[in-house]
Amino acid sequence: MTEQKLLSLVRQAVERYRMIQTGDKIAVGVSGGKDSLTLLYALSRLASFYPEPFSVCAVCVDLGMEGANFEGIKEFAGKLGVEFKIVSTQIGQIVLKERKESNPCSLCAKMRKGALVKEALNMGCNKIAYAHHKDDFVETMLMSLIFQGRFYAFPPVTWFEDTGLQILRPLMLTEERQVRAFCRKYEIPVMKSPCPVDGTTSRAYAKELLARICAEHPGAKDRMFHALTEGKIEDWPTAFPGNQRGRKERSSS
């Protein structure tokens, strides 16, 4: 995927759900994976010409896991001219060794979100961008159907009622295969995940299931994504010309 195609897809999502307004300062949650680095690249480039001026910074929550090296990410952010902050935590130690959670991803995500929100506020941001792509949306829907018995996926736009920070998902129209191709083409310095349970989670199962469905029924992913965006899910914003804030949630639990 070319830079032009990436920026086109991100801009379509931004404008469809009115994600960005003049004066916004957006913190991109950067894990070091292909998705978050692609989003950081896209938003930093979009900021250089978008008609409503906004700024971007990068926040990386260090979970304190062995093998994590953020030097490549720091250098990448520097080349983009983006302010970069690392938040040091012991989340990995707490979740995996002290509490020995049977479902570590849930608690880890909550604690990581809390650290990200706190740093975003410290940096003067009013919005946070997450790097969920089209596949993530559909996989979340499958997980909700299979494990929770409801039709749901995270909204394109939401906000934390206790802080006022708005959450954006500008990669929502971009497929994972496109992100992977973009990273190869532009030699994005993707960091290997240090998480010991990576690839063994419910999301990994949903990813494999979606791949099987699409292999047997070409176009199924696009049809499921259409069901999400047009299915009038509770609390989802519609494509709109105005400035809706989206679903409310809390930044900590």
Interval 107-149: pLDDT, tens: 788 888 899 999 999 999 999 999 999 999 999 999 989 988 9
d(CA 174, CA 38): 10
Distance in angstroms between the alpha carbons of the first and the last residue of the chain: 38
d(CA 243, CA 21): 9
* pLDDT over 90 at 92, yes or no: no
204 vs 50: which has the higher pLDDT: 50
* pLDDT over 70 at 196, yes or no: no
Confidence of residue 243 (pLDDT cuts 50, 70, 90): very low
pLDDT at residue 107, rounded to an integer: 79
pLDDT at residue 241, rounded to an integer: 42
pLDDT at residue 105, rounded to an integer: 73
d(CA 13, CA 11): 5
Q: pLDDT exceeding 90 applies to what percent of the chain? A: 61
Confidence of residue 245 (pLDDT cuts 50, 70, 90): very low
Confidence of residue 222 (pLDDT cuts 50, 70, 90): very high
* pLDDT over 50 at 91, yes or no: yes
Mean pLDDT of 17-41: 95
* pLDDT over 70 at 249, yes or no: no
Highest mean pLDDT among 43-57, 78-92, 143-157: 43-57
Q: Quote the number of domains for the chain.
A: 1
State the sign of the Cα–Cα–Cα–Cα dihedral 173, 176, 181, 187: positive
* pLDDT over 60 at 244, yes or no: no
Q: Do the beta carbons of residue 160 and residue 14 sit within 8 Å?
A: no
pLDDT tens, position by position, 141-162: 999 899 889 888 888 998 887 8
Q: What is the CATH number of the domain that holds 70?
A: 3.40.50.620
Q: Domain of residue 169: give its range.
A: 3-249
Q: Can you tell me which residue has the tokens 């009622």?
A: 161
- H or E element that contains 38: helix 34-46
